[in-house]
Every structure is written in structure tokens, then in C-alpha cells.
Amino acid sequence: MTEVMLTIDADGVLIKAELTDDTGVVLDHGVRGARVEDFDASILTDVSIPDGVKAIGESAFAGCDWLTLVAIPGSVRSIGDRAFYDCYSLVEITIPEGVTRIENDTFTDCNQLESVTIPEGVTHIGDRAFAWCESLAGLVIPDSVRSIGDRAFYGCSSLSEAVVPGGVTHIGSEALPTAD
């Protein structure tokens, strides 16, 4: 059986994920600044991040092709750039309340992502945050959002409607999909 062991630093940032297999071999991966490509990410299908984690580091789960489910606790306040980049099989995600920014490329190329819950309190959706999420069909952008970055929803071919709140003061280049 494969298990995931997560290491959290003193500041509550998820900094390391280890996969162990039946033989007890530890497949090590530092999640801040490194990519999950360092081990066979095809075996990682679901992750439950423990309560108390305050942040998900940059590129933490990038390249986890078969990751379908991530449970993010309410203690998380930030999710780094490219945290779930290229997680092709991720189907839905609920961003916890308390997160105020969705950073650049956070969910880029999550092709199977159908549903995203963005909580009230998020003020910024970064460049390419959801680019190429081809299965994303519906989206509610909360009233708290003030800025939507360049190509934030570029290539979201199933996204037929996204209501932009009146308080948005910046919409980047090609931020929303256009009709062909």
C-alpha cells in the first residue's frame, strides 16, 4: 500500500511530501520549489492535507497526473504559484475561506477540473490561474474579487458563462474565454 506522509514546517507551510510503497521505500520530494516529477506521481491519486497547515507551497503538487481529490483544510491561508499545475485528473476543488489570492498558474492544465468553489474573501485571481481547465463548465466569481489576471481562464472551452462582479477593477488580457 502506498502512503503519503506530509512534512509541515514551524510556520505551518507544507514543505515536503513523501510517498512510501509496500517495501517501505521512501520516495522523497521537497514541495517548495521542486516538482512532484521527482518521483512517480502516477501513483498519487488523493491527498488529505492535515488541519493546521497554513500554506501550500509553490509547485507542491505540480505534475501529479492522476491526482483526483485534494482535501484542503480551513487552516490554509495561501496556495502558492503552480501548486496544482498539470494535475490533469483533478475534478473538483474547494478553496478554503481565508485564502485571499489565487496565484499565477495555480490550476493551469487541470483538464478534468469541472467544479471550483472560490470563497468570498478572494480578491485576486492570478495570471493563467485556471488556464486550460477545459472541463470547467460553471464558475461563480465572488463579489470580493477586484482583479482577474491575464489569461486567467484562457482555454476553458467548456466555460459558457462567468459572471464578473461589478467591483472588479482590473481584467487582464484574454482573461475570459471568448466565443469562437
Above 70 in pLDDT, residue 123? yes
Q: Is residue 141 a contact partner of residue 170, using CB atoms and an 8 Å limit?
A: no
Say what the pLDDT of residue 128 is. Answer: 98
pLDDT class of 2 with cuts at 50, 70, 90: low
Contact 27, 39 (CB under 8 A): yes
Confidence of residue 43 (pLDDT cuts 50, 70, 90): low
Contact in structure between 127 and 102 (CB atoms under 8 Å): no
pTM for this entry: 0.80
pLDDT at 12 over 90: no
